[in-house]
Chains A and B, each alone.
Chain A
């Protein structure tokens, strides 16, 4: 057995899930498992309880709301990628999804899971920030909306409380000029640095603890990216300048 022992719960509804999250100590939501299960396998995460939301019915819808696209917690990334509605209302979203991992991973991974996981090198958090979207969080205490600008607080940290379920992500209708570009060592890997353009707005990912908004005319201002085996801080800054130039030249 690779993962450490955990209590397994498979609630059938959002209400039941919220109840479980309110009552269990040290519980983690299991959605697509494409980020959480690797952490469990390597025992980098050892939650006492897993709340598997995959048995909840009617939580996989993709629908139009307030002129934008609402994506519920169990909508798989591959389904959103193929969604005609998403392509029509917010084509940046499917374009960004095609850069997330590989199709086989996207067959399980969810859009909401990617936002909740908040990997700083992830595409979707930056897309949500560039578009000024929001997420809807539910708990036994009720529902609340968290705007993108308040959602990402640090490396893999969000404003979601431990007892909250992210039930829906909302991406505004986006008809201005949009583009996403990133550089990675191999196709499908996490980006060394990436940039999302929507109109005059620029969001960067992979270069700070969270996705960040930047000034297209001076995109590296104030940035202090970290260095690792794959890229030095200087190289990341270079990538930011090059990617920004590419996005705004088009």
Chain B
């Protein structure tokens, strides 16, 4: 499988979840794990460009596919990805635990709806839980991200 453009062998043990493989085997700890049953959205990554829950996939299932994690959005030292920049500008995070999952979901949302309506924004982030920031500033960040992405 390819992770952020780099080829990696899949783990030998089929029990390894994709989320645990990314974190423990590849050291990509930006993908967070909250609930492991699909509810919180913290572990969201892109699989061939579309957001999916990495806690609900076996790592072996990613063989032959392209995985993008939060680490793959912007190189360290280079400018932030528009969605990251928008979360930064709009105070879309406090503790940051939920943030990688929100950012990956929003990248997926903007790919499908570059100009999202307020309803599409709500729909697009409804599957992610944040326990501290409050959704108002996250909503604002999504609209800002749409603006920044067009520049």
Contact = CB atoms under 8 A, between A and B. Distances in A.
Contact of A8 (B14, B47, B56, B105): B14
B127 A104 contact: yes
B36 interface: yes
A41 B127 CA distance: 19
Contacts of B50: 78, 107
B143 interface: no
Interface stretch (A16-24, A32-40, A58-66): A32-40
B124 interface: yes
B55 interface: yes
A108 interface: yes
Contact of B53 (A4, A5, A108): A108
Interface residues of A, number: 28
B15 interface: yes
A2 B38 contact: no
Contacts of A50: 14
Contacts of B53: 34, 104-105, 108
A146 interface: no
Interface in B52-97: 52-53, 55-58, 60-61
Contacts of A42: 36-37
Contacts of B122: 187
A6 B57 CA distance: 15
Interface residues of B, number: 30
Contact of A52 (B13, B15, B61): B61
Overall SS of chain A's interface: loop
A201 interface: no
B14 A34 contact: no
Contact of B37 (A3, A10, A38, A54): A38
A2 B57 contact: no
B52 A187 contact: no
Contacts of B16: 1
Contacts of B44: 104
Interface in A110-140: none
Interface of A: 1-6, 8, 10, 30, 33-34, 37-38, 41-42, 50, 52, 54, 78, 101-105, 107-108, 187-188
The 8 closest A-B pairs by CB, nearest first: A102-B127, A8-B14, A38-B37, A37-B56, A1-B15, A41-B36, A104-B51, A107-B50
